[in-house]
Structure 1
Amino acid sequence: MNPQVAAAVGARLRETRRVRALSVGALAARAGVGKGSLSEIENGVRNPTLSTLYALAGALGVPLATLLAERAGAEIASPGIVARLLDATRHADGTTVEVYLLHLDPGARHPSTAHGPGVVEHLLVTHGRVRAGPSGRETEAGPGETLTWESATTHAYRSLGDTPAEAVLTIRSPSRDDDQRE
């Protein structure tokens, strides 16, 4: 993550935490993140992983794109996976639609925490083979195939085979009452 994006992510994270009236310690505990790490992320001096940002977004009850400051092109990574935000749209009814380009290294597996009730993911595989979906119920897809699931439970993405996999991921989040405060 470049320094400008890291600073924007940190500022958005701090602003969202304050709107929710949470201390650094309270958010860190909710998200399972170290208090010092959270402080460094908020100050733009530490690059968070994809897993860490998802944990923070979940604890705050906001879509991941909110913490990425809706910056198209922002990339976030965890071991074996890179997600690039292509678009984020908040509709008048409060529904948020996020679109990401995912790159999974060969054999990589990325677990993801639950995103909340009513959140639906659509994964269009563009290259390679992927196994994805709710934990214990993952299904396989190849180029041109789509997987869809409600992500209110833990779920995972796994690249199959010895080549990288790429996919377009769309996440549709329903309006949440407290989203209007942002």
Structure 2
Amino acid sequence: MTLLLREAIGESLRRSRMSQRRTLREVAGAAGVSLGYLSEVERGRKEASSELLAAICGALELPLASMLTEVSESLTADTPQLCAA
């Protein structure tokens, strides 16, 4: 099954939050989003706007570009490589 962009973003955000030993409540408060919304984003069930992703990354002190690079690498690793015949 192919990894969706929203799932890869959620995994990256959750990994970052967990590595900092922070709670959903702490990060949601710092980002100005509801705890439930952040939970849905982390589980890959909601697609966050670029503004909300920037706010969440800011709360995590994680550069948005770094998170997107990690997501890109994750998606690339998940995508079967096509080879020319």
* TM-score category, normalised to shorter length: 0.7 to 0.9
Rg bigger for which structure?
1
| Structure 2: stretches of 5+ with no match in the other structure | 76-85
For 1:36-91, what per-residue CA distance to the aligned partner results, in whole angstroms no more than 9, with x for missing partners? Answer: 0000000000000001000011111111123333418x9xxxxxxxxxxxxxxxxx
Kept in 1: contact 2:12–2:71 (CA 8 A): no
| Structure 1: stretches of 5+ with no match in the other structure | 75-182
Structure 1: how far apart are the matches of 2:67 and 2:38?
13
After the TM superposition, list the runs of 4 or more consecutive aligned residues in structure 1 that deviate by more than 4 angstroms.
none
Kept in 1: contact 2:31–2:58 (CA 8 A): yes
Q: Identity of counterpart residues, as a percentage?
A: 34
Aligned length: 71
Pick 1 or 2: higher relative contact order, CA cutoff 8 A, min separation 6.
2
Alignment of 1:32-181 (within 5 A): 32-68=32-68, 69-71=70-72
Structure 2: how far apart are the matches of 1:63 and 1:6?
18
**Alpha-carbon RMSD:** 1.8
> Which residue number in structure 1 is paired with residue 80 of structure 2?
none
The alignment's TM-score, normalised by the length of structure 1, stands at 0.37
> Which residue number in structure 1 is paired with residue 16 of structure 2?
16
The alignment's TM-score, normalised by the length of structure 2, stands at 0.75
Structure 2: how far apart are the matches of 1:17 and 1:44?
15
Kept in 2: contact 1:24–1:38 (CA 8 A): yes
Structure 2: how far apart are the matches of 1:35 and 1:6?
17
Task: Give the structure with the larger helix fraction.
Answer: 2
Kept in 2: contact 1:54–1:64 (CA 8 A): yes
Kept in 1: contact 2:6–2:44 (CA 8 A): yes
